[in-house]
Structure 1
Amino acid sequence: MKSLTEITIPEEVKFVIYKLRENGYEAYIVGGCVRDLLRKAEPEDWDVATNAEPEKIGKIFLRSFANNEFGTVTVLTGSKEPRLKEIEITPYRIDEKYTDKRHPDEIKFAKTIEEDLARRDFTVNAIAMEIRKILSIEPTPLGQIYGKTAGGVYPGEKLEIKIVDPFNGQRDLKNKIIRAVGKPEERFSEDALRLMRAVRFATTLDSDKIWEIDKATKKAIQKNAHLLSFISKERIRDELMKIIMSSNGARGIETLRRLGLLKYIIPELEEGFGIEQNKHHIYQIYQHNLLSLEYAGRKNFSKYVRLAALLHDIAKPRTKEGEGLDATFYNHEISGAKMTIQILQNLRFSKKEIEKIVKLVRYHLFYYDAEEVGESSVRR
């Protein structure tokens, strides 16, 4: 993990933090960006939590807008860096009961950062970072951007960083463990998509290995896997694609199967589990599909090729005739194309995406170099 002295906070983020504090409010950097900073990764976006309510935030930052029922205010920074053009500020909050397993029935503003962190999904995402600027006077080379003072010494700014970590997220980051905050079953009943997010984080936080999912968290996922049926297909698709597009995509799919989630995402894939092929294949159908995805990921192929690799033999269990070395799977590519249409439509892929992937599945028995398959090749 990264030392606090090595952490660099962008000026845009510091501006937001300092401005809130100047107006008498608390302000912390929170969520995935803290997790990524501590693990020496570049944050995708920046989130701030505060005890200021939305109306007060809007008055402090005139170039901002409120955009959801959670009280989040988005500040427009004017930065040229895409990741820093918008910074979201959300008041501390406590979420009430989740009847639909997706959205809280009621949201109440909380008083402390600890209360806010307690509602978050996993310990590695429940860490807050407080930054304060302190004046530093150190000898520096001539020409420093700060004004010259007597004796060639220049005043500068240093950051004092404090970590708020009530659920030992730093320990889990170090040990590479995904653990639910508090009681796992409560976290998953609040938002059932967290069932998939646990697998996604375990799959994507490292490029070369899968993180361990804590025993109690894993048990709660298996027990509550059926809750995934409450989640919109679009949200499921987005989480699935984050897994598939990672370097550990195949292992992520297998983790979904082992935890009982895959049957609520692409149940057709499980039909090939334990089904032998014939003299032309040494792997069972399900294994073969995963190995195809693994190869596509290793070669950094597009999402179209990766999905086609995973689904290209999806119809083999339904078209199998006979057993042993001489078993056949006649027209499995035709049946597979039809099944792929249904699978992708169910997951709300666009017509354009479906067309490209289905063509790859339908004609996968023709020889072509996957590394040469581009947009025009798929259309042809």
Structure 2
Amino acid sequence: MNFNPFDKLRASPSRNLRASPSRNLRASIPEEILNIAEKLQKAGYEAYLVGGCVRDILLGREPKDWDIATDAKPEEVQKIFPDSIYENKFGTVAVKATRGLAQIDTRISADNNIRENLRGNQRKSALNMVEITTFRREGKYTDKRHPDEIKFAKTIEEDLSRRDFTINAIALALQSAKRKAQSANDSRFALSDSLIIDPFNGQKDLENKIVRAVGNPEERFNEDALRLMRAVRFAVELNFEIEPKTAEAIKKHAGLLEIIAKERIRDELIKIIMTPMAAKGIELLENLNLLKYVIPELREGIGVTQNKHHIYTVFEHSVLSLDYAAKNNFSLEIRLAALFHDIAKPRTKRGEGPDSTFYGHEVLSAKMTARILDRLHFPKNLIEKIVHLVRYHLFYYNVGEVTEAGVRRFLRRIGPENVDDFIKLREADRIGSGVPKARPYKIRHLLFMIEKVKHDPISPKMLKVNGNDVMKILNISSGPKIGQILNILLNEVIENPERNTKENLESRIKDLGKLSDDELKKLAKQAKERKEEFESGIEEEMKRKYYVK
């Protein structure tokens, strides 16, 4: 969507709300969502889009999730949608997404995370399940994460007042069930008559790129301490700034993270790390006193100077390495390896100044990385991959010093499948050190050498026949003639790979068997020269690929 919602959406007071008619708002709502809203309205209930989907619509983004709030109680929602699932205590009913008569049959687990799509004859919806939540009002949060009991509210205003940030406390009411398809084959519909409900000026904060808590920020973070991490996540996902009072409240209540499940912290951390602004996220975690409750080991590198090969402190280098990995859209494994690869340097540092050393830091960094990721309950296979990258990130290669045998040993150590990840990690490490080139000559030369040793050698083993076939067809015993014939056949196959069939090669063996020994020797010598020339051409092509000599 190419529009600036802030030119068209201007709030006007109504029912003590910030509300504005949005007839000019060109937003696309999936047909499945409109069907659900229409059924709720026909049953006499209100239906609003709420949360992140409204925020994304106003930002001109494609929403990832669609959530509906209603004044209908869960049991009333279930009457309207008999196949819905209500397996929680938070007033949220999961409804199957339907598109006209077509329906997707989807089963959802109790934790709303694992979904199993069942095959059916009907055309599937683009969505799986849609969550419908009854208006709620705030209660007591003993565990700093979930309300002790669910208290239903009567109005959307009260429901919005319990939400975390103003940019997420905006509702969109569909006032009319009339809608018009944008095209005959389009499953999405243009919003023609709606109302933006914005009691906390969330649209203004969207316009000004601000993350601000709803109402009293200290109360919001006391209710749900995971909001401390979510504030940082939204700031980096949207490239927004955190409003000063909200930031101060985060600093004051940072310690509440200690009572939050590690899995929840991990999930928010991953979302932060996987944004292009991941480095800003780590800096925010530190500036807001959160880092010491998430990855305290990283803080050990703050102010720790390095040797003559670095211009940044250990902490700065780690964050800058992550920054390069994030901005180049590297995988989660590489990003975390970039962040943790030098995490043990403060503990292994010996001496001060340009000649200080960090011997063995890669080994200890790998052990520390394993402990950190295990503490945050990362999956075992992910931990193993990241630890492997950290452990061997300090590989040595210098042009002219490392032989092909050495390159083969290197490949066995790191695993051929991990070469690309190790090179990307080395790039992040280099740029994070302040050097101008991510891939200098010796890295390109290493890639050339790796491809060279991985390249299958050109040999008679590539043929569809072997020495036994030659002896059997010509009724001869082993001897130099067999090798000569195979080399001649190999040369012919190099020239034309389509000749590499058992039928053709057996026919050629019979023809070559009729030649004299001198004729065979001459042809075999020519074949060997052409093979060497061909292999040299392949090597030159590899060199050109990596810009090496």
TM-score, normalised by the number of residues in structure 1: 0.89
Q: Name 1:362's counterpart in structure 2.
A: 391
Task: Indicate if the aligned counterparts of 1:134 and 1:159 stay in contact, CA closer than 8 A.
Answer: no
CA distance in 2, matches of 1:18, 1:353: 44
Pair 1:135–1:374, CA change in 2 (3 A): farther
Q: Name 1:308's counterpart in structure 2.
A: 337
**Among 166, 169, 176, the residue aligned to 1:133:** 176
How far off its partner does 1:49 sit? 0.4
CA distance in 1, matches of 2:126, 2:268: 20
Q: How does 1:235-274 map to 2 (within 5 A)?
A: 235-274=264-303
1:192 aligns with 2:225: yes
Pair 1:227–1:375, CA change in 2 (3 A): farther
Per mean C-alpha deviation after superposition, the further-off stretch among 270-279 and 99-108 is 99-108
Q: How does 1:205-284 map to 2 (within 5 A)?
A: 205=238, 210-284=239-313
RMSD, aligned CA:
2.4
Q: Name 2:142's counterpart in structure 1.
A: 99
Q: Deviations for 1:85-138, whole angstroms, at most 9, x for unmatched residues?
A: 21110000113111111111111100000000000000000000001236699x
Matched letter for residue 417 of structure 2: S
CA distance in 2, matches of 1:266, 1:135: 52
**Among 327, 334, 340, the residue aligned to 2:356:** 327
CA distance in 2, matches of 1:326, 1:333: 18
Pair 1:340–1:81, CA change in 2 (3 A): farther
How far off its partner does 1:158 sit? 6.5
How far off its partner does 1:69 sit? 0.9
Q: Deviations for 1:246-299, whole angstroms, at most 9, x for unmatched residues?
A: 000011100100000000000000000111001011111000000110111122
Q: Name 1:170's counterpart in structure 2.
A: 203
CA distance in 2, matches of 1:201, 1:321: 40
Instruction: Percent identity, please.
Output: 60
1:201 aligns with 2:211: no
CA distance in 1, matches of 2:388, 2:344: 15
Pair 1:291–1:56, CA change in 2 (3 A): same
Matched letter for residue 370 of structure 2: I
**Among 192, 204, 207, the residue aligned to 1:159:** 192
Matched letter for residue 199 of structure 1: V
Q: Name 1:376's counterpart in structure 2.
A: 417
How far off its partner does 1:54 sit? 0.4
CA distance in 1, matches of 2:316, 2:221: 29
Which has the greater radius of gyration? 2
Q: Name 2:11's counterpart in structure 1.
A: none
Pair 1:157–1:48, CA change in 2 (3 A): closer
Task: Indicate if the aligned counterparts of 1:292 and 1:310 stay in contact, CA closer than 8 A.
Answer: yes
How far off its partner does 1:375 sit? 8.8
Q: How does 1:45-84 map to 2 (within 5 A)?
A: 45-77=65-97, 78=103, 84=127
Matched letter for residue 186 of structure 1: E
CA distance in 1, matches of 2:134, 2:46: 10
**Among 139, 155, 166, the residue aligned to 1:112:** 155
Structure 1 residues without counterparts, runs of 5 or longer:
138-143, 146-155
How far off its partner does 1:327 sit? 0.6
**Among 39, 44, 67, the residue aligned to 1:19:** 39
How far off its partner does 1:67 sit? 2.7
How far off its partner does 1:377 sit? 1.7
Q: Name 1:181's counterpart in structure 2.
A: 214
Task: Indicate if the aligned counterparts of 2:302 and 2:315 stay in contact, CA closer than 8 A.
Answer: yes
Q: Match of 1:66, SS?
A: coil
Matched letter for residue 274 of structure 2: M
4+ residue runs over 4 A deviation: 79-83, 134-137, 372-375
Q: Match of 1:64, SS?
A: coil
Pair 1:81–1:225, CA change in 2 (3 A): farther
Per mean C-alpha deviation after superposition, the further-off stretch among 21-30 and 77-86 is 77-86
Matched letter for residue 376 of structure 1: E
Q: Match of 1:48, SS?
A: strand
TM-score, normalised by the number of residues in structure 2: 0.62
How far off its partner does 1:367 sit? 5.4
Per mean C-alpha deviation after superposition, the further-off stretch among 61-70 and 304-313 is 61-70
Per mean C-alpha deviation after superposition, the further-off stretch among 98-107 and 78-87 is 78-87
How far off its partner does 1:219 sit? 0.5
Q: Match of 1:159, SS?
A: coil
Matched letter for residue 134 of structure 2: P
**Among 326, 341, 366, the residue aligned to 2:370:** 341
Q: Match of 1:349, SS?
A: coil
CA distance in 2, matches of 1:203, 1:313: 24
Task: Indicate if the aligned counterparts of 2:26 and 2:191 stay in contact, CA closer than 8 A.
Answer: no
Number of equivalent positions = 358
Task: Indicate if the aligned counterparts of 2:91 and 2:150 stay in contact, CA closer than 8 A.
Answer: no
Q: Deviations for 1:227-250, whole angstroms, at most 9, x for unmatched residues?
A: 010100000000000000100001
How far off its partner does 1:159 sit? 2.1
Q: Name 1:141's counterpart in structure 2.
A: none
Q: Deviations for 1:33-79, whole angstroms, at most 9, x for unmatched residues?
A: 00000000111110000000001100101221113111101111135
How far off its partner does 1:374 sit? 9.3
